[in-house]
Structure 1
């Protein structure tokens, strides 16, 4: 309809009036960082505007919960951390649906000291594990079931790495895009990094989520936001991301250029965004097979009951169309 009106005005000799943009608010799950880069890129380079969207990015943080704002109808989209959250929404009868998976690999890692007897993943269960509460009741339950980790060896991670740095017989959780950099800066050594996704943990991460009623009432708006965000991620990974990083630093003045550069390099190196099914289906890809496999993992780890209708947690309607594949550099 937009294109028709513009063409009609041109034929009649009128100047086409500026069409109103749809206002959209997208809430992230933490303070602005490279892990949000594709969304900031789509804002900075005008991709959202090209898709008829006036997007506001509402950054998260320790004192905010944008997922609750989404459920309450205060914002339009949010960034889900992983599929456990999405499955839990179904279990709690919260009408939130994942519409894209911007990270094909969950960035959760375990780190160990080099040359301390923990240089292989099979060594890690015998170490003291410094793990946060959220990880303990989610991914660590999978680690227990699959690799024999024990809660008897767990110490609480309070987002202070000093205990890990001081204890060579310990391992610590983190994200591949951030904690290894912090350890190198604070501890003066490069830790061993073990990405759980590379050892069979199948959760997607950095989901775009919205409410079921918005999908039903305005699927075109959902489609445009998802597709523009996908293109933003291609440009952020493979193009000029300087304007996006400037916006990130504007929202989060504490982040450094060095941290941003490290995180972007890690996103590329480990295939966090563009790997697996995304290589053929495009960034944001979701498949039923992957969802089924991950749900089975979580049932086995006793996080969910097997009769949960987990397919309500996501939809394939807005992804897997190859959007942006032409933007990936040719090998």
Structure 2
């Protein structure tokens, strides 16, 4: 005998099928809305997350993700704390300063295994190491002062041993500074330096005492505790997005360009290739997996900032990092 419940279930299936929705409604019903706040504008540095969105990798995990662009005035720590976004990408200094104030925010992964900030000088200046900075004019944004202090301290100098000037690449080309901070991931911006007839020299913060990572994924500590499953799924989708971007860079940049008409695709493609080969995938990701964070490295970074008086000396990796999401996620070793 066919029960009334069976008839109702059958009628429901027929109704869904007639609309072409059978098997689809339950999946959409389970989609969780998530906002991701980027630290910077849409460009190659966010290619993996954008690919994860455009290729449906977030949706496969039951996540309805909206990606919000950042910019020069963006403060992703504050935007995450205020609830503008559940997840954000952020840089090491702002994370350390947040921990120094006791704010409830932590990292749970890092897309960039190395912070790319690098100092450039023209070949004719013969500045080949940080030791050669003494008495020179060093150009950077005001926000890079702490990084400069650490690099100088690592080489036995202080800020008084240089002349700090707020400047960018044009300042170097026009002779206003001897050294300028830039990013090897920004290929278009660095073209005038790279094409300098007398060549150029570089000193990266990574090679000079400041080995922090970059583009950290951050979330409120209460969210990490209460919705770890969502964060695990998010991280796994980002992993898949970055792997796809690495294998299909041209297509990835097309997806980035669909989010921002301002980028120059050929130059952004060159940047993406540098990002993938030098910063997303390293020996550590080959051993530990995508987005790996080293607790020892966090401790070392905190100690360097404490040494120059930027943060309290008692801060440890546990104040800025929760390893539970990395441990639970299935991550590509590449």
Cα contact 1:131–1:172 (8 A) shared by 2: yes
**Superposed CA offset, 1:79-98 (max 9, x none):** 1112x322221221211111
Give 1:158 shift. 4.3
Q: Please give the alpha-carbon distance, in whole angstroms, between the structure 2 residues aligned to 1:204 and 1:122.
A: 24
Alignment RMSD: 2.6
How many residue pairs align between the two structures? 311
Instruction: Tell me the equivalent position of 1:267.
Output: 275
Give 1:204 shift. 1.3
Question: Which 5+ residue runs of structure 2 have no aligned equivalent?
Answer: 1-8, 15-21
Cα contact 2:254–2:265 (8 A) shared by 1: no
Q: Please give the alpha-carbon distance, in whole angstroms, between the structure 2 residues aligned to 1:320 and 1:199.
A: 30
Moved more, 213-222 or 141-150: 141-150
1:78 correspondence with 2:88: yes
Q: Please give the alpha-carbon distance, in whole angstroms, between the structure 2 residues aligned to 1:296 and 1:63.
A: 28
1:313 correspondence with 2:320: yes
Q: Please give the alpha-carbon distance, in whole angstroms, between the structure 2 residues aligned to 1:184 and 1:323.
A: 38
Give 1:306 shift. 1.4
Q: Please give the alpha-carbon distance, in whole angstroms, between the structure 1 residues aligned to 2:43 and 2:203.
A: 22
TM-score with structure 2 length normalisation? 0.84
Q: Please give the alpha-carbon distance, in whole angstroms, between the structure 1 residues aligned to 2:63 and 2:157.
A: 47
**SS of the residue 2:271 aligns to:** helix
1:163 to 1:324, Cα distance in 2 relative to 1, 3 A: same
1:17 to 1:249, Cα distance in 2 relative to 1, 3 A: closer
**Superposed CA offset, 1:56-88 (max 9, x none):** 110011344343221111211111112x32222
Give 1:324 shift. 4.0
Cα contact 2:299–2:316 (8 A) shared by 1: no
Larger Rg over CA atoms? 2
Cα contact 1:90–1:310 (8 A) shared by 2: no
Give 1:130 shift. 0.5
**Superposed CA offset, 1:235-276 (max 9, x none):** 212x1133432232233322212321221232245x211114
Cα contact 1:282–1:320 (8 A) shared by 2: no
Give 1:186 shift. 7.7
Instruction: Tell me the equivalent position of 1:223.
Output: 232
**Superposed CA offset, 1:144-190 (max 9, x none):** 2111454343343344x222112286000111211x64242488525
1:35 correspondence with 2:45: yes
TM-score with structure 1 length normalisation? 0.85
Q: Please give the alpha-carbon distance, in whole angstroms, between the structure 2 residues aligned to 1:68 and 1:196.
A: 26
Cα contact 2:80–2:87 (8 A) shared by 1: yes
**Superposed CA offset, 1:305-328 (max 9, x none):** 2123541211111115684436x4
**Superposed CA offset, 1:2-53 (max 9, x none):** xxxxxxx9xxx99434312111110101111111111111112221111111
1:49 to 59, 65, 71: 59
Instruction: Tell me the equivalent position of 2:19.
Output: none
